[in-house]
A and B are shown apart, each in its own frame.
Chain A
């Protein structure tokens, strides 16, 4: 079974400050890991993903995340917050299994990021 825990349902940062959104996962097999962003009344947009290879993954809009197996973490960071980063962010995990061709994706409960001018 796989699960995702996002620490902090709400995070506030000042414009220009570091953004750090925390995600810990549980998976019985090496996972695939994702971060999605959701703006109000919109669907989820893939920010970045880790499947294999380099553990530091760069995504869109200046975000990056580092896969740390020993800590079972995949925290999302951005050096300098912008007002347009205000949104809800979801961490997700998928196993590498192939049960009938489907790799289940489990989402965290989300973290709302507020950016203060």
Chain B
């Protein structure tokens, strides 16, 4: 099986812009979770989608949003970018056992 893929791998944006990141889960997986990883805060949970519905959400401002399509692919969007949004954004997919997560390589976002 192909693993979790994330595009793009690297992104440079300017403050105030918006960005969309994409995640394609492992075939057959319907749950997709998003995490933000920074040196200071570690791995922080953003949200989780299952069958096109957001089931769980972390403590992030409304500038962070996501969606999931009928083929389970997911996107996350960050609007009005701030310098502090610079991070590695990781996507993980799961089957029925959502505790067993398979991670993609991440998207490195740099905000200047």
Contacts and interface: CB of A to CB of B under 8 A. Distances in A.
A82 interface: no
Contact of A43 (B45, B56, B100, B105): B105
A41 interface: yes
Given A43-B105, A102-B55, A109 B50 contact: no
29 contacts: A34-B99, A41-B88, A41-B105, A41-B106, A42-B105, A43-B4, A43-B90, A43-B92, A43-B105, A44-B90, A44-B101, A44-B103, A45-B103, A46-B100, A46-B101, A46-B102, A49-B100, A94-B99, A99-B56, A100-B56, A101-B50, A101-B98, A102-B50, A102-B55, A103-B98, A104-B45, A105-B99, A108-B42, A110-B42
Chain B interface residue number, banded: 20 to 34
Contacts of A103: 97-99
Contact of A109 (B42, B88, B104): B42
Interface string B40-65: 00110100101000011000000000
Contacts of A44: 90, 92, 101, 103
Interface of B: 4, 6, 31, 33, 42-43, 45, 48, 50, 55-56, 88, 90, 92, 97-106, 108
Contacts of A105: 33, 45, 98-99, 101
B90 to A, nearest CB: 6
B99 A32 contact: yes
A43 B55 contact: no
A31 to B, nearest CB: 9
A104 B58 CA distance: 11
